[in-house]
């Protein structure tokens, strides 16, 4: 159980296209399989188109809710999958930026993988934090006041918990860190 007395719940935020398939599907399945309620949110109600390696179109996945209907108080964590296009679109989506800021302000967990930390850069949440990402974000993170490291998973606690990983090869460690943080069954 979470500190709030509710079962841990996770909001997974994505744009409508350009999501790295495994970075959306693997956390959704694994967290659900381990007893964590997961809600998939997207900017709109239409299906989300996943891709493999940013270039190969793959599955369509329907979101559960829109970002505009997501309320920080209803969730224990925010998980931001990568995909270059997904992350680029999310960082210019007001609802996504506001949600990320809201989770941090509420002292909740925010987890981002691969290009997902771009949203955190835009939300001004990396200043003073140590994190990882896809290597091409290193300069962006450093310029935003964060310390970039090349590690499988990085967990930083300072008022709120930030969990980051580099790419789909790190999904096992990424999901494990989220499960540990939420006290999964």
Q: Which of 40, 49, 53, 115 is catalytic?
A: 115
161 neighbors 124 (Cβ within 8 angstroms) = no
Q: What is the DSSP letter of 62?
A: -
pLDDT range class, residue 63, cuts 50, 70, 90: very high
Catalytic member of 40, 49, 53, 114? 114
Task: Give pLDDT tens digits for 12-43.
Answer: 888 888 899 999 999 999 999 998 999 999 99
Its sign, for the CA torsion 49, 63, 111, 182, is: negative
pTM for the model stands at: 0.93
Contact 51, 83 (CB under 8 A): yes
Give residue-wise pLDDT tens across range 87-133: 999 999 999 999 999 999 999 999 999 999 999 999 999 999 999 99
Residue 114 appears among annotated catalytic residues: yes
Residues whose CB falls within 8 Å of the CB of residue 11, separated by 6 or more in sequence, listed in order: 39, 41, 70, 74, 75, 77, 78, 79, 99
DSSP code, position 43:
S
Tokens of 157: 């606690």
Query: How many residues are there in the chain?
Result: 185
């Amino acid at each position: 159980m979470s500190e709030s007395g509710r079962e841990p719940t996770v909001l997974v935020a994505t744009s409508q296209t350009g999501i790295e398939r495994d970075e959306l599907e693997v956390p959704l399945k694994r967290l659900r399989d381990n007893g964590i309620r997961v809600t998939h949110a997207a900017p709109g109600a239409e299906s989300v188109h996943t891709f493999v390696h940013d270039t190969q179109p793959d599955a369509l996945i329907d979101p559960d809710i829109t970002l505009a209907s997501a309320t920080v108080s209803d969730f224990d964590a925010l998980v931001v999958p990568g995909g270059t296009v997904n992350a680029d679109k999310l960082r210019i989506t007001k609802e996504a930026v506001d949600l990320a800021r809201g989770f941090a302000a509420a002292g909740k967990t925010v987890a981002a993988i691969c290009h997902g930390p771009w949203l955190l850069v835009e939300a001004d949440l990396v200043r003073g934090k140590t994190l990882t990402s896809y290597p091409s974000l290193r300069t962006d993170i450093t310029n935003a006041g964060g310390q970039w490291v090349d590690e499988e998973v990085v967990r930083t606690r300072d008022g709120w918990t930030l969990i980051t990983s580099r790419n789909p090869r790190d999904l096992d460690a990424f999901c494990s860190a989220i499960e540990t943080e939420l006290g999964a069954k």
